[in-house]
Amino acid sequence: MSSLPFPFPVVGWDNGEVVLIDQTVLPDRLAWRRCSDVPALCRAIVELAVRGAPAIGVAAAHGLALSWHLAAQRGMDTTAMLEYLENDRRLLAATRPTAVNLFWALDRVGSLARRLVAQGGGPEQIGTAILMEARKVLEEDIAMCRALGRAGAELLPDVATVLTHCNAGGLATGGYGTAVGVVYGAKEAGKTIRVFADETRPLLQGARLTAWELADQGIDVTVICDSAAATVLRQGRIDAVITGADRIAANGDAANKIGTYPLAVLAARHAVPFYVAAPGSTFDPDTPTGEKIIIEERDPAEVHSWGQTRVTPETAAAWNPAFDVTPAELITAFITEHGVLKPPFSESLGPVLAR
């Protein structure tokens, strides 16, 4: 058992395999998926067995460790092993286009591998270094999320009700959480926190995942339909809306699960602060504005069905963007390991964009 508020390993390494919680079967059962090669890990990412920008980054880093391990088993020299790893890096990079942590982690671990090969390192030495770097990605993510959780907790009153969207908790990160990490941080500070969790159609990450892990931690959580968010805000029942993010542009525009943008509009309408909680690895200095963020479009079948049951007419079409972009002007502040960053974002985002 972990000492983290979220008590299970989201992504790990065991005997030459990447092991992760299979989030597709929650909350019915807790199960782990073992990925013995990179294509299997790619399927796990695409199928959302592992999801959430930080967790995807952690998984991808371990995926390159797996790639090098398999190349070593085939007896390749280090030049061929690096080519093998680069091919697997491309496979992982093609899984989900919006979450910047994926590319950040791949670049970080891939650069290390290239540098060590150029320096003449041996296969075993390089493999050990790559795995250690993947573990550092995990450990640093947890540390960043803990720090932002403490920073965000200071924004909440001693008794507070928070509205969340999708899942930005332990399941979406190395094991602590971003938006839900603020809830954990507030609880650890002795505050009383209640959470309203948007169900988050079409795959119900809020209802299935956020509610599951909050209930597991003994936090008062109420699931609402996405369309009920306006009502709870209008009734004055919410002290803060806190979401995570999958990519934050240099100007502060933030991409997150589809349905986040209307929450920001509603929060502004009802004078409720709208916070985005994210580690520095989610900020993208190479993307100037939200207009440049690639928005993943997923299989329309996710919209057509509820579980295994088709709920739309056979002749109806469906559109399934996975994310939307919230303009910076609707964001009250970013909660990061660097502290709470408030407008003007052209100045306050400097520490995270300089990574």
- Give the range of the structural domain holding residue 37, as residue numbers without chain letter: 11-145
Compare 307 and 291 and report the one with higher pLDDT: 291
Domain-located, residue 2:
no
Judge if 110 and 183 occupy the same domain: no
Distance CA 91, CA 83 (A): 13
Q: Give the domain CATH number at 50.
A: 1.20.120.420
Q: Which residues contact 153 (CB under 8 A, 6 or more apart)?
A: 182, 185, 186, 188, 189, 191
pLDDT band at 9 (very low <50, low <70, confident <90, very high): confident
5 pLDDT band, cuts 50/70/90, is confident
| DSSP label of 282 | G
Asked, for residue 226, whether it belongs to a domain, the answer is yes
Mean pLDDT for 105-110 is: 98
**CA geometry: angle 18, 173, 86, nearest 5 deg:** 45
Rounded Cα–Cα distance for residues 56 and 172 (Å): 8
- The CATH number of whichever domain residue 339 belongs to comes to 3.40.50.10470
Q: Average per-residue pLDDT in the chain? A: 96
In total, how many domains does the chain have? 2
Classify residue 3: in a domain, yes or no. no
Residues 198 and 333 in one domain: yes
Residues 165 and 307 in one domain: yes
Residue 9, helix vs strand vs coil: coil
The stretch 82-107 carries a mean pLDDT of 98
pLDDT band at 1 (very low <50, low <70, confident <90, very high): very low
Q: What percent of the chain has pLDDT over 70?
A: 98
**E-assigned strand segments in 172-302:** 192-198, 220-224, 240-243, 247-249, 254-257, 274-277, 283-284
Confidence of residue 149 (pLDDT cuts 50, 70, 90): very high
Choosing from 110, 145, 180, the residue where a domain stops is 145
Kindly state the average pLDDT of the residues 68-84.
Answer: 97
Report yes or no: 321 and 335 within 8 Å, Cβ to Cβ: no
Does one domain contain both 262 and 347?
yes
Residues 223 and 323 in one domain: yes
**Quick one: 173 and 128 in the same domain?**
no
Please check whether residues 88 and 223 belong to one and the same domain: no
Asked if the structure places residue 1 within a domain, the reply is no
Helix (H/G/I), strand (E/B), else coil: 206: helix
Residue 64 maps to a domain: yes
Helical segments of the chain, H only: 38-46, 53-73, 78-93, 100-118, 123-153, 179-188, 205, 211-216, 229-234, 260-269, 301-304, 345-348, 350-353
- Asked whether 199 and 206 are in contact (CB, 8 A), the reply is yes
Asked whether residue 101 falls in the same domain as residue 35, the answer is yes
**What is the rounded distance in angstroms from the CA atom of residue 255 to the CA atom of residue 122?**
41
Q: 331: Cβ–Cβ under 8 A, 6 or more apart, which residues?
A: 252, 254, 264, 274, 275, 276, 345
- Tens of pLDDT, residue by residue over 24-52, are 999 999 999 999 999 999 999 999 999 99
On whether residue 4 sits in a domain, the answer given is no
**Nearest in space to 190 (alpha carbons), one of 215, 165, 153:** 153
The 247-249 sheet, strands edge to edge:
283-284, 247-249, 254-257, 323-326
Instruction: Report in angstroms the alpha-carbon separations of 143 from 140, 146, 225, 319.
Output: 5, 5, 32, 37
Question: Does residue 314 sit within a domain?
Answer: yes
Distance CA 280, CA 319 (A): 31
Active-site residue (options: 22, 141, 226, 246): 246
| Chosen domain end from 82, 110, 145 | 145
Residue 8 pLDDT exceeds 90:
no
Dihedral, 245, 246, 247, 248 alpha carbons, nearest 10: 0
Note whether 288 and 253 are same-domain residues. yes
Mean pLDDT calculated for residue range 107-135: 98
Instruction: Say if residue 13 is exposed, middle or buried (CB neighbours under 10 Å; 0-12, 13-18, 19+).
Output: middle
Residue 307 phi/psi, 5-degree rounding, is 65, -125
pLDDT for 351 beyond 90? no
Question: Is 126 in the same domain as 172?
Answer: no
Q: How many residues does the chain have?
A: 355
Is 246 annotated in the active site? Answer: yes
Question: Are residues 218 and 124 located together in one domain of the fold?
Answer: no
Bridge partners, residue 324, by sequence: 256
The residue behind tokens 């995270």 is: 352
* pLDDT reading at 2 higher than 50: no
| Neighbour-count burial for 241-264, b at 16+ CB within 10 Å, e otherwise | bbbbbbbbbbbbbbbbbbbbbbbb
Residue 7 has pLDDT above 70, yes or no: no
Say if 61 falls within a structural domain: yes
How sure is the predictor about 311, in pLDDT bands with cuts at 50, 70 and 90? very high
Of 125, 145, 165, which residue sits at a domain end?
A: 145
**80 CB contacts (<8 Å, ≥6 apart)?**
71
Asked whether residue 139 falls in the same domain as residue 163, the answer is no
